[in-house]
Amino acid sequence: MVGSMTNSQGGPSLPQERRLVTAIPGPKSTELLARKQAAVPPGIGTTLPVFVTQAGGGVLVDADGNSLIDFGAGIAVTNVGNAAPRVVERVSRQVADFTHTCFMVTPYESYVAVCEQLNALTPGDHEKRTFLVNSGAEAVENAVKVARHATGRQAVVVFDHGYHGRTLLTMTLTAKNMPYKHGFGPFAPEVYRVPLAYPFRWPSGPENCAAEAAAQAIDAINKQIGAENVAAVVIEPIAGEGGFIEPAKGFMPRIAEFCRENGIVFIADEVQTGFARTGDLFACEDEGIVPDIICTAKGIAGGLPLAAVTGRAEILDKVHVGGLGGTYGGNPLACEAALAVLETIESDGLVERARHIGGIMLPRLRAMAERNEAIGDVRGRGAMIAIELVRPGTTEPDPAAAAAVAKRCHAEGLLVLTAGTYGNVLRFLPPLVIPDHLLEEGLTILEKALATV
């Protein structure tokens, strides 16, 4: 019965309700999981082992007919919702017209239109260029390539708790060993890591965090690398996998200023924070940061694989003809999806909607933290919100509690994700189109799950 449903019943027209008709996972998902285990290597993990058949609005429907509340959005990808109407319409039209030519061989308009829009919408009114690739890692990798070419320098500076992808260069840029780097060396050369302003864990307290962390980072660059050897600084405006760490206010502007003074390309990795997620179109806007290059992906195309590198024309224009590209980068289906996403963010007021979500989540989570000493910190902006779990009365990370709470939420039909260098962060990334009643119901499930740890 469920298997015979067509996609036309998916998307936002799916009933917006939590509905559990079997255990999680149910028998059909369990059968599929056994097939997965026989066919797919275990290195490809599974957060919540239900096999999805339809999704839309704020729910995921599985093979057994369960309807789960989605606080993950495919890791901050389906900001406009799954199977969002404009995405479906534009992609459907495109797939019937043509599916691929390779933009570098024979171009098409939608690619150019996406680049024009990103040039106009990203922070700063300087002249910009954009090119398109397939994934966040590929965008970051290309940004570094371009920065090295433009500066003639090699060193790349990244931060504690940073995550930038899984390719050789981007896993080198990533901070956390397990699971991202362990056993995968040797790593790429000329990558240097400096402190991040992590207010909750700053030894001398959050009020000293921005100035001290910036001074330490800059001192390390000057003393250990030499600013004149640094091609680029790569930073996430809110560290995503690292645990939704908002650098203390003032830290990023100081780092950006140091880059400007020293001819270093400031690269903002907005792969997770972009496209209205944080209550701004891009998270850099919060402190008025204007990056030299901005990398985007995840939320850009409603789930179709697309990523972009947008930057100062004088930097991107330096690369010789043929020095950039890739077979699939800016695939026409993905470009149509991106145009639909940008239109939807604008028409449906999703920047404001993200702020509205934060306005519901933050007060409720702060009230829970008042009553529950296991919640050490509540943080984030817009619809990018997290809580950090600790042993009560300390700041000692409690990853076992985070895993237990997540498991309990999953059993109750609420998808939540964990994160953090210490694995003790629960992160919430609902689609921006989730209805309020599901948001509230999800928070109630979370509250009950937290009460059990």
Ligand X SMILES: *Cc1c(COP(=O)(O)O)cnc(C)c1O
Q: Strands across the sheet with 425-428, in order?
A: 375-381, 384-389, 425-428, 417-419
In the chain, what is the straight-line distance between the N-terminal and C-terminal CA atoms, in Å?
Answer: 39
What DSSP character marks residue 434?
-
Give residue 221's identity as a one-letter amino acid code. I
Residue closer to ligand X, measured from CB, 66 or 296: 296
| Torsion of the alpha carbons at 436, 438, 443 and 446, rounded to the nearest 10 | -170
Q: Which residue is nearest to ligand X (CB)?
A: 136
* Gap between the Cα atoms of 270 and 418, Å rounded: 19
* Gap between the Cα atoms of 258 and 211, Å rounded: 13
Q: Smallest gap, in angstroms, from Cβ of residue 206 to ligand X? A: 23
Q: In this structure, are residues 339 and 320 in contact, taking their beta carbons and an 8 Å threshold?
A: no
Q: Smallest gap, in angstroms, from Cβ of residue 125 to ligand X? A: 25
Q: Smallest gap, in angstroms, from Cβ of residue 261 to ligand X? A: 26
Which positions ≥6 away from 20 have C-beta within 8 Å?
Answer: 66, 67, 412, 413
Residue closer to ligand X, measured from CB, 65 or 326: 326
Q: Smallest gap, in angstroms, from Cβ of residue 205 to ligand X? A: 27
Concatenated DSSP letters of 36-90: HHHHS-TTS--SS---EEEEETTEEEETTS-EEEESSHHHHT-TT-TT-HHHHHH
Residue closer to ligand X, measured from CB, 103 or 163: 163
Residues that bind ligand X (CB under 6 A): 135-137, 140, 163-165, 236, 240, 269, 271-272, 297-298
Concatenated DSSP letters of 161-187: T----SSHHHHHH----TTTTTT--SP
Residue closer to ligand X, measured from CB, 165 or 247: 165
Residue closer to ligand X, measured from CB, 128 or 427: 427
Q: Smallest gap, in angstroms, from Cβ of residue 240 to ligand X? A: 4
Residue closer to ligand X, measured from CB, 168 or 211: 168
Q: Smallest gap, in angstroms, from Cβ of residue 55 to ligand X? A: 19
